[in-house]
């Protein structure tokens, strides 16, 4: 499977990897290992940091990061459920909006991580773009 296929689920982007959000995760783990016990723990810390960096970001972290990076929206609340996620965010001072992503009943994915990836991708590529024109009119 190619990298681009691994980063997509049913045509939607998956959650970014932890390493994408914090480029210093591996270096931080190495530094912590050096501070606490020399090269052996530093190497183990680096390996652990590397493994962590390859994991997908938790759903809430991915959503908050996307809203901030791409729209400069502050997320007030994230309400996750196994097959849905609702996000309330601040889009201008004292102005909040809620957007949600809900999996169709007939969509059955093999793992909870796949569900979270689909919900994230649907939220940022389908649901949020639907409300952006309304935000501009309301603003």
pLDDT, tens digit, 9 for 90 and up, residues 111-133:
999 999 999 999 999 999 999 99
Instruction: Identify the CA nearest to 84 among candidates 127, 128, 116.
Output: 116
Report the alpha-carbon angle 129-133-135, nearest 5: 100
- Cα 117 to the center of its chain, rounded Å: 8
What is the arithmetic mean of pLDDT over 21-41? Answer: 56
Task: Name the fold adopted by 59-138.
Answer: TATA-Binding Protein (3.30.310)
> pLDDT-based confidence at 5, cuts 50/70/90?
low
Alpha-helical segments (H) within the chain: 3-6, 18-21, 25-37, 39-53, 59-71, 112-122, 128-138
Per-residue confidence (pLDDT) for residue 39, from 0 to 100 = 61
* Domain locations along the chain: 3-53, 59-138
What is the arithmetic mean of pLDDT over 36-45? Answer: 58
What is the pTM for the complete model shown?
A: 0.75
pLDDT at 1 over 60: no
For residues 36 and 44, what is the distance between their CA atoms, to the nearest angstrom? 12
pLDDT, tens digit, 9 for 90 and up, residues 65-92:
999 999 999 999 999 999 999 999 999 9
Kindly report the average pLDDT of the chain as a whole number: 83
User: Residues 90, 73: contact at Cβ < 8 Å?
Assistant: yes
């Amino acid at each position: 499977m190619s990298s681009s296929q691994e980063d997509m689920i049913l045509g939607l982007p998956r959650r970014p990897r932890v390493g994408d959000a914090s480029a210093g995760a591996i270096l931080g783990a190495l530094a912590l290992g050096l501070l606490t016990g020399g090269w052996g723990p530093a190497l183990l810390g680096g390996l652990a940091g590397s493994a962590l960096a390859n994991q997908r970001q938790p759903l809430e972290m991915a959503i908050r990061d996307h809203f901030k990076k791409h729209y400069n929206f502050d997320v007030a609340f994230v309400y996750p459920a196994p097959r849905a996620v609702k996000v309330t965010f601040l889009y201008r001072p004292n102005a909040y909006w809620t957007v949600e992503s809900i999996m169709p009943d007939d969509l059955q994915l093999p793992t909870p991580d796949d569900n979270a990836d689909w919900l994230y991708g649907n939220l940022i590529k389908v649901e949020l773009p639907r409300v952006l024109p309304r935000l501009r009119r309301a603003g």
